[in-house]
Amino acid sequence: MAEQLTGTSNSSPRTLRVWRFVDGKLGHEKQTLGLTQALSDRMSVEVRDFDIRVPNTWGAEVKAKLQKRTCVHCEPDLIIGAGHSTHWPMLITRLFCGGRTVLLMSPSLPVRLFDLVFTPHHDRSRRADNVVKTLGVIGPARRAERDANVGLVLLGGVNRHFEWSDDEVFQQLEQVMRANPELDWTICDSRRTPSSMHSLLNNLSEGVFTSWQDSASDFLEKRLSAATQVWVTADSVSMLYEALSAGASVGVIELPLKQPKRSNKLARGLLQLRESGQIHLSHEGPRMIVKTEPRTTESRRCADIVLERLFFIA
């Protein structure tokens, strides 16, 4: 059941109080950050973070409520979390402190326990009225001014879903750079990239190779914000969705599946993104159509759904 989010004195919208539950995992925290940022674009939002690894943070709020040491204005309107370890803290907090729960993943508990659940479309979760499918994971949106001359390639590496071949990936990489000579290319590896790939990357005829080991902590974020085109290997799912959230035109360097006859959620996700026009696949050619108009991000779409369904704010 939704509630009207209005002030006490005059029916005007008030600040949305959000309690964000984090578990120390960067991927989960980026998802909840993306949603809270999108909510703050719509209205005034006050966010408090609770690290579930420290029970006396959220637990202290529950204790204070039981001892009647908190006022109604300190209670949350919205409790957001991602990660299995956030489930029970979120539910216990809602029970004693109030608010609505929004989970950004397929839960390990029954979905009916949460007010709203956002789950990637490629996760085959059961249909329910409170479950909303998303195109991939939610992430922070970056809307910096782009440099039309900047291209970026993000490489993954050995993984359990796709076959990795240094030579095949390098060949596709060179095809992309040769087909787009107007761009200044930066190629970035990752922790999973084999060391054998480094010798090939160090001998690139075009582009600049930058290893994650030698770059500043904010290097990748800055390049993502500036790049017009971003190419990502198929195994690098988190980087793929970060590039989409950044608003770049995104291409995927395809890799063969290790078990092509078995259903694979990552492959399903790529196909769904392609069908919706979100990405370009390498077998379609090394040049892609560059987006000229900003699109609505998943984080913004999900924020709209939260406000409409839970608080009647259109």
Assign residue 214 the CATH number of its domain.
Answer: 3.40.50.850
Among residues 314, 304, 310, 313, the alpha carbon closest in space to that of 38 is found at 304
Question: Is 5 a domain residue?
Answer: no
For residue 8, pLDDT over 50 is answered with: no
**What's the number of domains the chain is made of?**
2
pLDDT digits (tens, 9 = 90+) for 68-112: 776 655 789 999 999 999 999 999 999 999 999 999 998 999 999
Q: DSSP per residue over the chain, as a string?
A: -------TTTS----EEEEEEE-S-HHHHHHHHHHHHHHHHHS-EEEEEEETTSHHHHHHHHHHHHTT-S-GGGS-SEEEE-SGGGHHHHHHHHHHH--EEEESS--SS-GGGSSEEEEETTS-PPP-TTEEEESS-------PPPEEEEEEEE-----SSB---HHHHHHHHHHHHHH-TTSEEEEE--TTS-HHHHHHHTT-SSSEEE-GGGS-TTHHHHHHHHEEEEEEETT-HHHHHHHHHHT-EEEEE---BSSTTS--HHHHHHHHHHHTTSEEEGGG-S--PPP-S----HHHHHHHHHHHHHH---
- Whether 202 is covered by a domain: the verdict is yes
Q: Tell me if 41 is assigned to some domain.
A: yes
Question: How far is 45 from 49, CA to CA, in rounded Å?
Answer: 13
**130 and 186 housed in the same domain:** no
* Position 11 in a domain: no
Residues 39 and 161 in one domain: no
DSSP 169-187: HHHHHHHHHHH-TTSEEEE
Statement to judge: residues 164 and 124 lie in one domain: no
* Assigned token pair, 61: 């709020």
Whether 260 maps to a domain, the answer reads yes
CATH of the domain at 21: 3.40.50.2000
* Its pTM surpasses 0.75: no
Task: State whether 159 and 280 are in the same domain.
Answer: yes
Residue 6 lies in a domain: no
Same domain? 179 vs 239: yes
61 plus 160 within the same structural domain: no
Better-predicted residue by pLDDT, 233 or 128 = 233
Tell whether 228 and 251 lie within a shared domain.
Answer: yes
Task: Determine, yes or no, domain membership for 248.
Answer: yes
Q: Is the pLDDT of residue 178 over 90?
A: yes
Shared domain for 160 and 232, answered yes or no, is: yes
Angle (CA) 57-63-64 rounded to 5° is 95
Residue 21 — pLDDT band, cuts 50, 70, 90?
A: very high
In terms of average pLDDT, the best of 53-67, 116-130, 165-179 is: 165-179
Closest CA to 31 of 93, 118, 126: 118
Mean pLDDT estimate for the chain: 87
Q: Are residues 126 and 151 in the same domain?
A: no
pLDDT at 24 over 80: yes
* Other beta carbons less than 10 A from residue 25's beta carbon: 13
State CA 253 to chain mean position distance. 20
Q: Answer yes or no: do 64 and 151 share one domain.
A: no
Question: What range defines the domain where residue 114 resides?
Answer: 16-140+299-311
Q: From the CB of residue 96, how many other CB atoms can be counted at a distance below 10 Å?
A: 14
167 and 264 fall within a common domain = yes
In terms of domains, do 172 and 108 share one? no
Residue 8 lies in a domain: no
